[in-house]
Amino acid sequence: MSNTADTSTKIMDAAEGYMRTRGYNAFSFRDIAADIGIKTASIHYHFPSKADLGAAVTERYTERFLEHLGPPDAYNHTKQITRYIAAFRSSYSAGDQMCLCGMLGAEVSSLPESMTIVSKEFFVKNLLWLDKIYLSKEGESFSIEQARQNSLRLLALLEGGLIVARSLDGLETFDHLVSQELI
């Protein structure tokens, strides 16, 4: 990896950490510069604005999240739902972090438009992935509307579960909230 790409990655990693623990509006380029030992002008070289940085981080997060899940038809319904829940659980277990786009969703009214668009894409892509899981559930026949309802419910449960877990007893609370999803 070239030095420029390495610096860009370090900047995005630091920004992602802030966004997943504090939110988009709770950090500055100065915070990132201090964390990784560069000048703020170096950050502006890679990302002209905070919105550009936030959008790049969000797009990368979405790509990584979906890549980790793999194709919706890779496993049976139960295994895919288990893997999906585990992906959210690992967010919290990796240092009290929230799902990046869940955090952005809470701040949506104060985000730049470009950030709103890319964070919405996370949810749209996740819902489409989940819809395919529910539509292919063995032994059941879901309409597109029923699949979407189940997808929305699960996504809301997991995003909300992270918030409640962070506010109460951590993973114990999260695990209790999602335990019925696998039955």
Question: What is Dmax (Cα atoms) for the chain?
Answer: 58
Question: What is the C-alpha separation between 71 and 39, in angstroms, rounded?
Answer: 41
**Mean pLDDT across 53-80:** 94
Reported as a single tens digit per residue, the pLDDT across 116-127 is 999 999 999 999
Output the pTM of the full model: 0.92
Domain definitions of the chain by residue range = 54-182
Q: Give, for 64, the enclosing helix (H) or strand (E).
A: helix 50-69
For residue 1, the model assigns a pLDDT of 56
Cα dist from 118 to 3, 25, 43, whole Å: 27, 16, 20
**Mean pLDDT across 86-100:** 88
What number does CATH give the domain 54-182?
1.10.357.10
For residue 183, the model assigns a pLDDT of 43
